[in-house]
């Protein structure tokens, strides 16, 4: 089977997304780039727990189905827009996590209140304006608003996280959700302290250069 291990990784990540409370039902989607020109993406409306490798769809960067009998995710245009624009992006995770989605509904960016958010995301999480899900316009707005960050909010919709691996992208989505939750708790208790821009830059640079087994 074409890209069997990549397909398995897509399913594994989708199940983790569900397990971690980052989405419900069949919502959200996962994709992984392979050999620069192919993308494995979750199919539209298929239960993650029952999903098998054959269900994961292989497409090229123009959206042409290369392998698979099911329809790819309706959000495929957004995933492909990111891959076409950014060669460094190797995986995209789109979640509907509740605390971050609350910010998206308000049209309010998530400020940097945690050191790990500065390190992993690179700054506050901006909000892309509302676009109809699955539209080419949404892909363009996500690319525009993401800039140097690893995550962005979709107004009235959810979260998009990117990474050099799908594990990294999922980790970004988790950090964004944790940051949104902790900020809302802190607001209920008092006045949260936002990290200054110069400290955010230092933390991000340190993370890129030194985090992990490098």
Catalytic center residues: 75
The proportion of the chain whose per-residue pLDDT surpasses 70, expressed as a percent, equals: 100
Name, in order, each residue with C-beta under 8 angstroms of 50's C-beta and a sequence gap of 6 or more. Answer: none
Give the CATH number of domain 4-210: 3.40.225.10
User: Confidence class of residue 214 from pLDDT cuts 50, 70 and 90?
Assistant: low
Query: 167: buried, middle or exposed (CB in 10 Å: 19+, 13-18, 0-12)?
Result: middle
Q: Any bridge partners for residue 152, and if so which?
A: 160
Phi-psi region of 207 (alpha: psi -120 to 50; beta: other; left: phi over 0): alpha
pLDDT of residue 168 exceeding 70: yes
User: Confidence class of residue 213 from pLDDT cuts 50, 70 and 90?
Assistant: confident
The mean pLDDT value for 55-62 works out to 98
Show the CA angle centred on residue 133, arms to residues 132 and 134, nearest 5°.
110
User: Confidence class of residue 86 from pLDDT cuts 50, 70 and 90?
Assistant: very high
**Domain locations along the chain:** 4-210
Note the pTM of the prediction, 2 decimals: 0.96
Interatomic CA distance for residues 137 and 52, integer angstroms: 31
Tracing tokens 């985090």 back to the chain, one arrives at 211
What tens digit of pLDDT does each residue of 107-164 get? 999 999 999 999 999 999 999 999 999 999 999 999 999 999 999 999 999 999 999 9
What tens digit of pLDDT does each residue of 110-122 get? 999 999 999 999 9
Q: Any bridge partners for residue 65, and if so which?
A: 59
User: Confidence class of residue 183 from pLDDT cuts 50, 70 and 90?
Assistant: very high
Whether the Cβ atoms of residue 187 and residue 103 lie closer than 8 Å to each other = no
Whether the Cβ atoms of residue 81 and residue 139 lie closer than 8 Å to each other = yes
Interatomic CA distance for residues 143 and 149, integer angstroms: 10
């Amino acid at each position: 089977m074409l890209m069997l291990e990549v397909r398995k990784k897509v399913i594994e990540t989708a199940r983790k997304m569900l397990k971690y409370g980052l989405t419900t039902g069949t919502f959200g989607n996962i994709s992984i780039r392979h050999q620069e020109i192919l993308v494995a993406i979750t199919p539209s409306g298929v239960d993650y727990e029952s999903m098998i490798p054959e269900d994961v769809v292989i497409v090229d960067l123009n959206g042409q189905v290369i392998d698979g009998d099911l329809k790819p995710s309706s959000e495929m245009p957004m995933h492909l827009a990111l891959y076409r624009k950014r060669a460094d992006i190797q995986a995209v995770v789109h979640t509907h996590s509740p605390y971050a989605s609350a910010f998206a509904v308000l049209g309010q960016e998530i400020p940097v209140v945690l050191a790990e958010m500065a390190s992993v995301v690179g700054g506050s999480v901006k909000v892309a304006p509302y676009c109809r899900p699955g539209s080419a316009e949404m892909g363009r707005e996500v690319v525009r608003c993401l800039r140097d960050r690893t995550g962005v909010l979709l107004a009235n919709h959810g979260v998009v996280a990117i990474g050099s691996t799908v594990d990294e992208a999922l980790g970004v989505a988790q950090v964004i959700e944790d940051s949104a939750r902790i900020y809302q708790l802190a607001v209920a208790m008092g006045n949260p302290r936002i990290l200054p821009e110069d400290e955010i830059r230092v933390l991000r640079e340190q993370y890129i250069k030194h985090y992990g087994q490098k």
